[in-house]
Amino acid sequence: MNELEKKIQKYYSDFKKDFNKKNFPAVFQLIEEHNSKKNKSYHDLGNFAILYTPVLYKPKIMMIGNNPSWFDKDNPENGYKIVRELMKAPAKECSYLVHNHTYAHRLQDIFSRVGRMDLLTNCVGMNRLWLQTGPENASWNRACKTISFELRQNLYEYCHTRTKEIINLIKPKVVLLVGAKAQGLLQGQAISNTVIKRVAYPLGGGITLLENELREIIKDEKL
């Protein structure tokens, strides 16, 4: 494990320690309510994923999405196994290429249309919120905005500040903030030698929009 990987791994051990019922009781209440329903379409909540890809230094692209996917859209049991592994460390392979989730399939389609699957293969990907939630709603937003007495941050703030730190460690050439929720990250902030681009979420018309945005970014930034 190199020095960068050691620094990234510390975020995993810190989050395992800090993400608990004492610090975030409102979030854990929602997790427990979801898990008690035993909906067979979804596996249990309480899981997280930070990086979707192996750790790379100075990649051409780093993508920041909203929060972790259901990693197998057709098989909740397999999806649960995947996310439990991703709680331990960064992915060993690029999740956007090897896992059966909707976001991955859309990204493969877009990068394939652009003719630059190499950029997807060699990107670094993560999210602005590390917790895997159920369908997001007002209850989740309220819970994630409840400040931890001990940490002096709510869950959004906790993840945002550390996501920014990880971006600074990775030092990508371009950061893509994908979708409206991720676009709120890094407002009014600059990262040395990194270009920040706010791009569409790949859903409906956003798929073509993101394709066109990606073409422009590749051209403008000479990726």
- In angstroms, the Cα distances linking 203 to 3, 40, 81, 199, 207 are 37, 25, 26, 12, 5
| pLDDT score at 135 | 67
DSSP string, 1-14: --HHHHHHHHHHHH
- CA neighbor of 125 nearest in space, from 69, 71, 53: 53
| pLDDT score at 190 | 85
pLDDT tens figures, 121-143: 999 999 999 999 876 678 899 99
| pLDDT score at 40 | 65
Block residue for tokens 């596996």:
43
CA distance 108 to 99: 11
Mean local confidence (pLDDT), 146-169: 97
Mean local confidence (pLDDT), 173-189: 94
| pLDDT score at 69 | 86
On the question of pLDDT at 146 being above 70, the answer is: yes
pLDDT tens figures, 36-85: 886 666 788 999 999 999 999 999 999 999 999 889 989 989 999 999 99
Mean local confidence (pLDDT), 203-208: 95
List, in order of start, the domains of the chain with CATH numbers.
7-37+46-220 (3.40.470.10)
| Residue 176, strand partner residues | 63, 197
